[in-house]
């Protein structure tokens, strides 16, 4: 199977570069069942002789072993006949992406480097990163959707990488499986409660633009949110996009997860530079798509991400314009301190400026969490992952600082 990038390209747009797939996915000789939809799993069973009348029941059994128990060996599936277990073992695996490195930060953040199958023109292995961020009462897993990224945002390290290939649904779901394996987060009990899981939230904020790999991301997230399996509620899954407007409506209709939009600038001239996709889908068009996001309400707000770049997008006039722009859209604003990488000419805004910016946003009625970098000691980043996600508003920080000074 060859995975190609979806493009919606017509005429070239000056200043907007869309990378084409440079790398090829080559399915392993023995494919993994991880990440298949129920329908695809039934089809796979059909290919090894499971009669149609049996398929639904067998899928149900396998689903439980794979996604609730986290079983990695067909031999452990005691409710499945011995004969079928042997047949499955002969034709399939339950493999997850191969973990080539694990780093654990003093703050508990974990970063895994994962190697994926495929043919690389550059001779480099296909690798993505996946990061787990534990917080009080919850744990967030940051997933990648592509090796590299189709797009070229000027402040993003992933955007500079040539290597691009879309991840398959199995490789996306496989990141969740691997995290649960490593964290001991699979249950031996038949029906674990959602709240007891270490991986309780998912953000599609790793490498890649998820809406340029729409079908695979959709299929993967539907597996991840299946209530009889991994069981993460869609409200606990956030998909972050740089603004692939034509796919935003479909994301709401077909996946139904929370949306985050990487805004980063409030004027088209600047956003064209930072997020060149803006040349194709300018701010007004993006905002219109946001207003129409299915299921949008005060209880289900869109998160607008805004990376703080010193002297670029961080004036108080920018903050005021940001508030004006979002008027009428149920929104949250996440201010992200820029995470520098070797070779970038951007710098992170000064902390005082971030606080002032945050004050304007706060005074307009938005909680304005500033994302504190996590896992600094292990550089828990896919270029950007570092900035996810311990939240504390600048005002809270000010209050804490004031308290510290008066004590
Ligand atoms: N491609 C998607 C999701 C992955 S990027 C998107 O762009 O939304 C996840 C978030 O990290 C985005 O908001 C992105 O703009 C931000 N980001 C990228 N590079 C960063 C950096 N160096 N410092 C801080 N945030 C960064
Ligand atoms: Fe791709 Fe997102 Fe980075 Fe832009 S910010 S290059 S869309 S990963």
**Gap between the Cα atoms of 370 and 115, Å rounded:** 32
Q: In 84-93, which positions are buried (b, 16+ CB within 10 angstroms) versus exposed (e)?
A: bbebbeeebb
What's the confidence (pLDDT) of residue 27? 86
Question: Could you tell me if residue 220 is left (phi over 0), alpha (psi between -120 and 50 degrees) or otherwise beta?
Answer: alpha
**Gap between the Cα atoms of 27 and 210, Å rounded:** 21
What's the confidence (pLDDT) of residue 376? 67
Q: Which helix (DSSP H) or strand (DSSP E) does residue 303 occupy?
A: strand 302-308
Q: Which of 126, 226, 137, 215 lies closest to 176 in space, CA to CA?
A: 226
On whether the CB atoms of residues 32 and 93 are closer than 8 A, the answer is yes
Ligand 2: atom nearest CA of 152 is: 6
| Residue 397 or 324, more confident | 324
On whether the CB atoms of residues 152 and 161 are closer than 8 A, the answer is no
**Gap between the Cα atoms of 381 and 130, Å rounded:** 9
Mean pLDDT of all residues in 234-241? 97
The angle subtended at Cα 206 by Cα 366 and Cα 130, nearest 5°, is: 120
- Edge-to-edge strand ranges of the sheet holding 110-116: 98-104, 110-116, 126-135, 138-142, 201-204, 237-241, 258-262, 302-308, 331-337, 369-373, 389-393
Where does the pLDDT of residue 120 fall: very low under 50, low under 70, confident under 90, or very high at 90 and above?
confident
| Residue 402 or 394, more confident | 394
Q: State which fold the 2-12+95-398 domain adopts.
A: TIM Barrel (3.20.20)
Where does the pLDDT of residue 22 fall: very low under 50, low under 70, confident under 90, or very high at 90 and above?
confident
**Which sign, positive or negative, has the C-alpha torsion 150, 152, 155, 157?**
positive
Residues 6+ apart with CB under 8 A from 158: 148, 149, 207, 208, 382, 383, 384
Give yes or no for residue 405 having a pLDDT over 70: no
Q: Which of 284, 289, 227, 217 lies closest to 257 in space, CA to CA?
A: 217
Of the listed ranges 120-124, 163-167, 174-178, 337-341, the least confidently predicted one is 120-124
What's the confidence (pLDDT) of residue 326? 96
Mean pLDDT of all residues in 220-227? 97
Encode pLDDT of 251-284 as tens digits. Answer: 999 999 999 999 999 999 999 999 999 999 999 9
Average pLDDT over all residues of the chain: 87
Q: To the nearest whole percent, how much of the chain has pLDDT over 90? A: 72
On whether the CB atoms of residues 359 and 397 are closer than 8 A, the answer is no
Instruction: Pick the catalytic residue from 18, 127, 129, 305.
Output: 129
- Ligand 2 centroid distance, CA of 314 (Å): 20
- Ligand 2 centroid distance, CA of 205 (Å): 9
Between the alpha carbon of residue 7 and those of residues 17, 135, 319, 322, the distances in Å are 12, 37, 34, 30
**Gap between the Cα atoms of 217 and 6, Å rounded:** 12
- Ligand 1 centroid distance, CA of 147 (Å): 15
Encode pLDDT of 128-173 as tens digits. Answer: 999 999 988 899 999 999 999 999 999 999 998 887 899 999 999 9
Domain range annotation of the chain:
2-12+95-398, 38-94
**Gap between the Cα atoms of 201 and 199, Å rounded:** 6
Encode pLDDT of 335-381 as tens digits. Answer: 999 989 889 999 999 999 999 999 999 999 987 777 666 776 665 54
Q: Which CATH class is domain 38-94?
A: mainly alpha
**Gap between the Cα atoms of 62 and 67, Å rounded:** 8
The beta strands (E) that lie in 70-109 are given as 98-104
129 belongs to the catalytic site: yes
Q: φ and ψ at 30, to 5 degrees?
A: -110, 105
- Ligand 2 centroid distance, CA of 182 (Å): 27
Encode pLDDT of 180-197 as tens digits. Answer: 999 999 975 544 555 578
Q: Is 153 in the pocket of ligand 2 (CB under 6 A)?
A: yes
On whether the CB atoms of residues 35 and 172 are closer than 8 A, the answer is yes
382 belongs to the catalytic site: yes
- Which protein residue has the closest C-alpha to ligand 1 atom 11? 384
Ligand 2: atom nearest CA of 149 is: 1
Give yes or no for residue 402 having a pLDDT over 60: no
Residues 6+ apart with CB under 8 A from 246: 8
Encode pLDDT of 42-89 as tens digits. Answer: 999 999 999 999 999 999 999 999 999 999 999 999 999 999 999 999
Where does the pLDDT of residue 14 fall: very low under 50, low under 70, confident under 90, or very high at 90 and above?
confident
On whether the CB atoms of residues 186 and 180 are closer than 8 A, the answer is yes
Q: Is 303 in the pocket of ligand 1 (CB under 6 A)?
A: no
Q: Which of 273, 305, 333 to mutate to test the pocket of ligand 1 (most atoms within 8 A of CB)?
A: 305
Q: Which of 328, 196, 204 lies closest to 255 in space, CA to CA?
A: 204
305 strand-pairing partners: 262, 334
Q: φ and ψ at 219, to 5 degrees?
A: -60, -40
Of the listed ranges 215-224, 234-243, 283-292, 336-345, the least confidently predicted one is 336-345
Q: φ and ψ at 58, to 5 degrees?
A: -65, -40
On whether the CB atoms of residues 223 and 217 are closer than 8 A, the answer is no
Q: What is the secondary structure of 207-223 as a DSSP string?
A: SS-GGGSHHHHHHHHHH
Q: Is 334 in the pocket of ligand 1 (CB under 6 A)?
A: no
Give yes or no for residue 228 having a pLDDT over 90: yes
């Amino acid at each position: 199977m060859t995975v190609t990038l979806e493009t919606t390209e017509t005429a070239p747009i000056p200043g907007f570069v869309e990378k084409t797939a440079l790398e090829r996915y080559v399915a392993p000789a023995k494919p993994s069942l991880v990440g298949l939809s129920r329908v695809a799993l039934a089809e796979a069973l059909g290919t090894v002789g499971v009669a149609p009348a049996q398929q639904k029941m067998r899928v149900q059994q396998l689903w439980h072993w794979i996604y609730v128990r986290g079983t990695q060996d067909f031999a452990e599936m005691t409710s499945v006949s011995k004969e079928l277990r042997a047949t499955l073992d002969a034709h399939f695996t339950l493999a997850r992406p191969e973990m080539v490195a694990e780093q654990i930060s003093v703050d508990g953040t974990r970063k895994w480097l994962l190697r994926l199958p495929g043919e690389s023109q550059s001779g480099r292995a296909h690798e993505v990163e996946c990061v787990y961020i534990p917080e009080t009462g919850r744990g967030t897993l940051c997933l990648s959707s592509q090796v590299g990224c189709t797009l070229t945002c000027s402040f993003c390290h992933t955007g500079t990488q040539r290597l691009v290939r879309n991840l398959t649904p199995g490789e996306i779901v496989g990141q969740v499986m691997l995290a649960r394996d490593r964290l001991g987060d699979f249950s031996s009990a038949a029906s674990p409660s959602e709240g007891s899981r270490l991986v309780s939230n998912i953000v599609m904020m790793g490498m890649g633009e998820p809406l340029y790999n729409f079908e695979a991301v959709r299929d993967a997230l539907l597996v991840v949110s299946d209530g009889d399996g991994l069981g993460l509620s869609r409200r606990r899954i956030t998909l972050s996009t740089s603004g692939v407007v034509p796919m935003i409506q479909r994301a709401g209709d077909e996946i139904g997860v929370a949306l985050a939009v990487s805004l980063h600038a409030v004027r088209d001239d600047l956003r064209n530079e930072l997020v060149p996709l803006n040349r194709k889908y300018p701010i007004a068009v993006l905002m219109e798509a946001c207003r129409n996001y299915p299921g949008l309400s005060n209880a289900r707000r869109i998160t607008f991400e805004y990376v703080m770049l010193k002297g670029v997008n961080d004036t108080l006039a920018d903050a005021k314009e940001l508030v004006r722009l979002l008027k009428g859209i149920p929104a949250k604003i996440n201010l992200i301190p820029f995470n520098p990488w070797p070779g970038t000419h951007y710098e992170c805004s000064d902390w005082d400026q971030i606080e002032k910016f945050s004050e304007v946003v706060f005074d307009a009625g938005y909680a304005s969490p500033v994302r504190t970098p996590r896992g600094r000691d292990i550089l828990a980043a896919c270029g950007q992952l570092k900035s996810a996600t311990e939240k504390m508003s600048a005002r809270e920080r000010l209050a804490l600082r004031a308290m510290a000074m008066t004590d």
